[in-house]
């Protein structure tokens, strides 16, 4: 987007998981387009770096240390935003973690960690921000995944959390369809970010490496640019990458065939658990 257009001039945008990946890229893209961005994540030092870079580029940013698993942190995030800016125009529920292990081998605490972060974290933030978003007739954005529409072996907890995100936000859209609220659910395909290195293994520890070639994926910046445009156009759904769109279409129309295609592709990962 052209920075001079300032399409979001004066609009307040909360972004969770803003210290890296898609969240960080969204922070820069929205700020470059004139938004007042509120940055939320657990890693306060990284948040401050993003905030400083945005201000260096001439934008406006405000960071609030937030663990979305903590309901009081989510309330505090909204309270601090209202205290500073008096309104909320856009909420981007982006904070999330992944995993990589077969369910048979998985410690159940991993499933809980993913649901608490990916699903309940989005629910908590949305609950407290909703009255202000309704007042502004604003937009709620949920960063789901292609894995919220299709299965992905070795990621039972991740898929479960993203399917839950889809169900929740698609229903929230209907509940508020007469109130002017826009709900955008984004389904990125494989995106170059830190999420695979931070993904939890069967014991709930970060795997600290990516099993995929990050250079062959859509960049977080590309994803953020698409989200900015979709927000301006008040879109309701995004499915990203040609591979992602094809996988969703195939799974809808030829589920048995697609099951085998997915397992064949994922089995090629280094140290694949299946």
CATH number at residue 128: 3.40.50.720
Rounded Cα gap, residues 195 and 48, in angstroms: 20
81-100 pLDDT, tens digit per residue, is: 999 999 999 999 999 999 99
Residue 250 lies in a domain: no
Whether pLDDT at 196 is above 70? no
The number of domains in the chain is 1
Q: Which of 62, 124, 128, 158 is catalytic?
A: 158
Position 25 in a domain? yes
Q: Which residues 6+ apart lie within 8 Å of 8 measured at CB? A: 30, 33, 34, 35, 89, 90, 232
Q: Give residue 63's domain range.
A: 3-241
Residue 220 lies in a domain: yes
Distance CA(192)–CA(210), nearest Å, equals 10
Give the whole-angstrom CA distance, residue 15 versus residue 38: 6
In this structure, are residues 18 and 50 in contact, taking their beta carbons and an 8 Å threshold? yes
158 catalytic per annotation: yes
pTM: 0.92
Percent of the chain with pLDDT over 90: 84
C-alpha to C-alpha distances, 270 to 153, 261, 273, nearest whole angstrom: 14, 17, 9
Q: Does a structural domain hold residue 13?
A: yes
Please, are residues 23 and 41 in contact by the beta-carbon 8 Å criterion? yes
Is residue 193 predicted with pLDDT exceeding 70? no
Largest CA distance in the chain: 53
Confidence at residue 3, expressed as pLDDT on a 0 to 100 scale = 44
């Amino acid at each position: 987007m052209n920075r001079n257009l300032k399409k979001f001039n004066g609009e307040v945008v909360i972004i969770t998981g803003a210290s890296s990946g898609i969240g960080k890229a969204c922070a820069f893209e929205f700020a470059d387009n004139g938004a007042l961005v509120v940055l939320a994540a657990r890693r306060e030092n990284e948040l401050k770096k993003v905030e400083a870079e945005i201000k260096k580029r001439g934008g406006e940013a405000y960071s609030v240390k937030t663990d979305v698993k903590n309901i009081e942190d989510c309330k505090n995030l909204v309270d601090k935003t209202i205290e500073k800016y008096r309104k909320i125009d856009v909420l981007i529920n982006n904070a999330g973690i992944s995993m990589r292990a077969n369910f048979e081998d998985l410690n159940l605490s991993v499933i809980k960690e993913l649901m608490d972060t990916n699903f309940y974290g989005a629910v908590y933030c949305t609950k407290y921000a909703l009255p202000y978003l309704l007042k502004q007739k604003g937009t709620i954005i949920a960063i789901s995944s292609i894995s919220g529409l299709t299965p992905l072996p070795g990621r039972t907890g991740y898929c479960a959390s993203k399917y839950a995100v889809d169900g929740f936000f698609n229903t929230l859209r209907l509940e508020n369809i007469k109130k002017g609220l826009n709900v955008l659910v984004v389904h990125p395909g494989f995106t170059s970010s830190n999420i695979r290195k931070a993904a939890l293994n069967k014991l709930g520890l970060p795997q600290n490496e990516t099993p995929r070639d990050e250079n062959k994926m859509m960049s977080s910046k590309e994803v953020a640019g698409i989200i900015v445009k979709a927000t301006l156009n008040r879109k309701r759904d995004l499915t990203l990458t040609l591979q992602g769109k094809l996988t969703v279409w195939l799974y809808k129309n030829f589920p048995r065939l697609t099951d085998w295609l997915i397992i064949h592709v994922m089995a090629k990962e280094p140290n694949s658990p299946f």
